[in-house]
Structure 1
Amino acid sequence: MVDKMEYNLSRKLIAEFVGTFMLVLMGTGSAIGAALIVHQYIPSGAIGALGGFTEWLAVSWGFGITAAVVIYAIGKISGGHINPAVTIGLLVTKNISLKDGIAYIIVQFIGAIVASLSLFIIFGDPGVIIGHLGANAPAAGVSSIQAIFAEAIGTFLLVLVVMGVAVDKKADSGVYGIAIGLAIGISLTFLGPLTGGCINPARGFSPMLIAYLAGGPNLLGTYPIFLIGPIVGGIVAALLYSYIGKPNEE
């Protein structure tokens, strides 16, 4: 999102670190917690239906609600991107400088990795073995192409909303956090049974990395899905809005 006031880059980067850290901590933490509760308290025969539904909603709306509150908290400082796909979309439409954009992306990945490391410390081995620290993976029967396309569509909605409610100077600035949080929630609800719901390359990478280093499954081979899909969807949405959102010149 575009800054309403000017802050120096170091303050913006701290805000992006904190924002991405909280997004990944609370979002994937909700999914880990749901997975542990389901596996501990629900008989194995019921896990497939009720357990999957619980985890699905936890990751979707855990991310959506966290994103909304975090964006309201830090949006005025850094713009509240908290997602490399959003930053890249704003970069290709010249709503952020190349220098700031690269710095944002690096800090977003660092914030996400620290969040996943924190979740490993909090949940320990059960969080890795049962919850995989909230890592994404395509569902059985979903091809890489299908998963990339689905992730691109989900991220397209997110970045389109970002452009419309936060970047566009004609937008009502009071609703942007809620609108973006809702866009994330519904996108991840749609993507849950297909890819686990990612739409954020930093969020996709960090649990895969820390879970693998902690002795969990190696899901890093699927990471290109959660890198390519969100970046392509974000770029297409940003470019499209830059075209359709430009008023006709008299």
Structure 2
Amino acid sequence: METPSLFKRCFAEGIGTALLVLIGPGTAAFNGIITANNNESTTLADIGVISFAFAIIVMAMIYSIGRLTGCHINPAVTIALASTSHFSWKEVGPYLLAQCVGGTIGAFGIVTVLGMDGVVLGNLGATVLAPTTGYLQGIVIEAIAAFILMFVIMGVAVDSKAPKDWGGLVIGLTVGGIIMMTAGATGASFNPARTFGPYLVDSLLGGNINWIQFPVYVIGPIIGAIAAAVTYTYMTSSKKLPLSNEASQHEVGK
């Protein structure tokens, strides 16, 4: 199959990120509307539903555009792949721009579906640190979440020895699992574009966004994703033994 042009791949990345934000944060925003109208608190069951929505859309995008773009739909993933020579640095900028534009379009899509309640009550599913989560702690949590995701991506999608056809399912379920664990502390973004879109659109429409927290959702995921990609690459790298050592090993194995 011929590799699509950079423009077509970026276009697909934009669509993938837009749909990720529409379905994932959109579900979170809808849950926010429900809990606000009923004067209730978000429960673990609610987080489970939101996590499942993320898992479904991630799986769908991987199987839809993965063969075209690699389905990064996350700037941290793109940067991590480039840092380990699995992606061209000259294409990082266009991919990141496409992902951020896609995230913004997806956030506008939430407004289209949920109306201004999605902004006022649902906050467009924007991520926010819990009152008990410190700034540095938030960065660390986001880094851990991105590390887990990127480590799995390396193992089931990037590695040439990865099992075929299972990548989308495993990665999607991993995303869901991470959200179940970290949503209460940071909102579970581990994706700068996923946070950027709702932040920008919510701000433009008069929502309440604390932009001072935005670096948490950029610094943490990028550090975590790079660390995972480097770690996995180190674990799976091998040096060819000198001929004399290879001969010795062959003899021992007789």
So what's the TM-score if we normalise by structure 1?
A: 0.92
When the two structures are aligned, how many residues end up with a matched partner?
A: 241
> How many Å apart are 1:5 and its aligned residue?
5.7
User: Mean Cα displacement is larger for which, 239-248 or 221-230?
Assistant: 239-248
Q: 226, 244, 250: which is aligned to 2:235? A: 244
Mapped to 2, the partners of 1:198 and 1:139 lie a distance apart of: 13
Q: Deviations over 1:55-78 (max 9, x none)?
A: 422332211211011101100000
Mapped to 2, the partners of 1:219 and 1:52 lie a distance apart of: 23
The AA in structure 1 aligned to 2:10 is L
Which position in structure 2 is the counterpart of 1:235?
226
User: 5+ residue gaps in structure 2?
Assistant: 242-254
Cα distance change, pair 160–5 in 1 and its aligned pair in 2 (3 A): farther
Alpha carbons 1:128, 1:216 under 8 Å: kept: yes
1:34 aligns with 2:25: no
Structure 2 residue matching 1:173: 3-state secondary structure = coil
Mapped to 1, the partners of 2:145 and 2:59 lie a distance apart of: 17
1:18 aligns with 2:9: no
Which position in structure 2 is the counterpart of 1:76?
67
The AA in structure 2 aligned to 1:16 is E
Alpha carbons 1:148, 1:226 under 8 Å: kept: yes
The AA in structure 2 aligned to 1:17 is G
Percent identity for Structure 1 against Structure 2: 36
Alpha carbons 1:34, 1:58 under 8 Å: kept: no
Which position in structure 1 is the counterpart of 2:252?
none
Which position in structure 1 is the counterpart of 2:181?
190
Mapped to 2, the partners of 1:23 and 1:225 lie a distance apart of: 20
Mapped to 2, the partners of 1:54 and 1:5 lie a distance apart of: 44
Which position in structure 2 is the counterpart of 1:152?
143
> How many Å apart are 1:7 and its aligned residue?
2.1
Higher-Rg structure is: 2
Q: Deviations over 1:25-77 (max 9, x none)?
A: 1001111112222333x4x3xx12xx333442233221121101110110000
Mapped to 2, the partners of 1:149 and 1:5 lie a distance apart of: 40
Q: Deviations over 1:87-140 (max 9, x none)?
A: 010010011111212211110000000110121232222111111000001101
Structure 1 residue matching 2:116: 3-state secondary structure = helix
RMSD: 1.4
Which position in structure 2 is the counterpart of 1:113?
104
Q: Deviations over 1:198-240 (max 9, x none)?
A: 0100001111111111111022111011011100000100000
